[in-house]
Amino acid sequence: MTATRTVDRRIGRILMVGGLVSIALMLAGLLIYAAHGHPQAREIVRVIHNREAGRAVDVFTSLGDVRRALAQRPPDPLAVTALGLVCLLVTPVLGVAAAVVGFLRVGDRDYALIAGVVLAMLLASFALAAGG
């Protein structure tokens, strides 16, 4: 039971850190955006209500989009928020990766394998999404 608790805590820590880092980035982005007088906010809210009204320029669809917007001087605050969202989306995957390592460390090969197969399927689904 102690070995299981060690793995539990390791995964729990990853999920908590992932959540906190995501919140910090998202909040920072939103606050900087608000401090800049939230340019075009009304327009953005209109698009959130009806996507057909126009493609939102502030929606990021790839990591490259986010990186480019962060590289601007000054960086796009909504890109900081988007980076927080990306951190949140990959947190469960990191949790499963932590499970693989954790079970290997406590010598539980069965569950290291099970977690490894789940991780492989998740990565395959990412690859399929990127290809599709």
Partner 1 sequence: MSPLAFVAAIFATSVLAGGAGALLGLGGGILLIPVLTLVFGVDLHYAMGASIVSVIATSSGAAAAYLKTSLSNVRIGLFLALATVAGALVGAALAGVVPTRLLQLLLGVALAYSTVATLRQIRIELPEPTEADPLALRFGLEGVYYDAVLDRDVKYRAMRVAQGFAAMLGAGLLSGLLGIGSGAFKVLAMDHFMRLPMKVSTATSNFMIGITSAASAGIYFARGDIHPLLAAPVAIGVLVGAAAGTRLMARLRNTTIRKAFLPILGWLAVSMILRGLGLWLP
Q: Which residues bind partner 1 (CB under 8 A)?
A: 1, 4-5, 7-9, 11-13, 15-16, 18-19, 22-23, 26-27, 29-30, 33-34, 38, 41-42, 44-45, 47-52, 55-56, 58-62, 78, 81-82, 84-86, 88-93, 95-96, 99, 110-111, 114-115, 117-118, 121-122, 124-126, 128-130, 132
Nearer to partner 1, 9 or 71 (CB): 9
Look at phi and psi of residue 54 and say left if phi exceeds 0, alpha if psi is from -120 to 50, else beta: left
Q: Taking the complex as a whole, how short is the minimal distance between the CB of residue 92 and partner 1, in angstroms? A: 4
CB of 13 to partner 1, least distance (A): 8
Residue 22's nearest CA partner among 106, 89, 99, 97 is: 89
Rounded distance, CA 95 to CA 122, Å?
12
Strands (E) in the chain, as ranges, are none
Half-sphere exposure of 14 (CA within 13 A, CB side): 19
What's the closest the beta carbon of residue 64 comes to partner 1, in angstroms? 11
User: What does the CA dihedral 18, 122, 103, 83 come to, rounded to 10 degrees?
Assistant: -10
> Token pair for residue 114?
């099970």
Q: Least distance in Å: CB of 73 to partner 1? A: 20
User: Which CB atom, from 44 or from 104, has the smaller least distance to partner 1?
Assistant: 44
